Chains A and B, each alone.
Chain A
């Protein structure tokens, strides 16, 4: 019962995080843009977005969360760390750019890993696409990989099957990492 309550709390956390990132992106665009038509379209789409988020939230099944030190959790963390750091390295150190880095990591992950772990690696790779102003060093990329790994550990089944769900999760990790890095640097 207690476990079920905690997964429900995680689902609420997932809903709020998705709402914050999606609406944050739309609101920041509206604030920085004077175009009335753009604003109208974005407000309309955000209404549909929020309605759909709520609708899907009600359909999320209650599931047990894997233990923090289980084999599956360790594999997820390793994939998250590898995806983020490899993409950051190819993007900034080798200089291929974020799009090619993301594509390369995705193809390698999908070729050698099972489907779920490949998905985690590919999503983590999206965090590694961040610019140097967000992730200035490889250590910050490792921290971002660790944060997205933790998010995956607790919320991997929330909003599964929606294209771009991974991107929203990656944005959350990148924003949290940026805040931490800013605080310490």
Chain B
């Protein structure tokens, strides 16, 4: 159950960041900062037991959501990355304890992994469709 809640959190936060950054055209930094700040203030209040973990997961998803349009061309790709972030957060969330940037590293691994998956399973189809 906890895993599902964490997956939903990373999915929503990464898609929210992507939407603010690219659909509302506000830029990646402000998008990620807003999502991180709001989740850091709201989630611990509404979920007293696991709110801090969820806020951390949301921050992790928001870092991945800063990906450029060139690398994640639509919200469906962002959703896939958001789920990958959740899986990695659950699996490797406790690695590198105390090191600043480890959440961003998890986001980075998820983004790079998605680009690798896309290349292996879809080739350059997505990019060609986009260019066409």
Contact = CB atoms under 8 A, between A and B. Distances in A.
Interface of A: 18, 21-22, 24-26, 28-29, 32-33, 38, 41-42, 45-53, 55-56, 97-100, 102-107, 109-111, 115, 118-119, 122-123, 126-135, 144, 160-175, 178
A122 B101 contact: no
**Which one of A110, A118, A164, A173 has the greatest number of beta carbons of chain B within 10 Å?**
A164
Given A24-B96, A128-B100, A163-B111, 16 more contacts: A25-B95, A25-B105, A48-B114, A52-B119, A99-B55, A103-B38, A110-B29, A119-B28, A127-B100, A129-B103, A162-B111, A162-B115, A163-B64, A164-B111, A171-B96, A171-B100
Contact of A175 (B40, B59, B81, B99): B99
A173 B99 CA distance: 9
Interface residues of B, number: 58
A138 B101 CA distance: 18
Interface of A is mostly: helix
Contact of B120 (A48, A128, A134, A167): A48
Highest count of chain B CB atoms <10 Å: which of A45, A56, A97, A126? A45
Interface of B: 14, 27-30, 32-34, 36-41, 55-56, 59, 63-68, 70-72, 81, 84, 87-88, 91-92, 94-117, 119-120
Contact of A122 (B14, B32, B55, B72): B32
Contacts of A29: 91-92, 94-95
Contacts of B111: 162-165
Nearest to A126: B101
Nearest to B98: A131
A133 B98 contact: yes
List the 7 closest pairs (A to B, CB-CB), nearest first. Answer: A167-B104, A106-B33, A103-B37, A170-B101, A164-B108, A164-B107, A48-B116
A160 B71 CA distance: 10
A178 B101 CA distance: 13
A99 B36 contact: yes
Given A25-B92, A107-B33, A162-B108, A171 B98 contact: no
Nearest to A129: B100
Nearest to A131: B98
Contacts of B116: 47-52, 55
A181 B64 CA distance: 30
A59 to B, nearest CB: 11
Contacts of A172: 101
Contacts of A42: 88, 91-92
Given A53-B112, A102-B36, A119-B29, A171 B63 contact: no
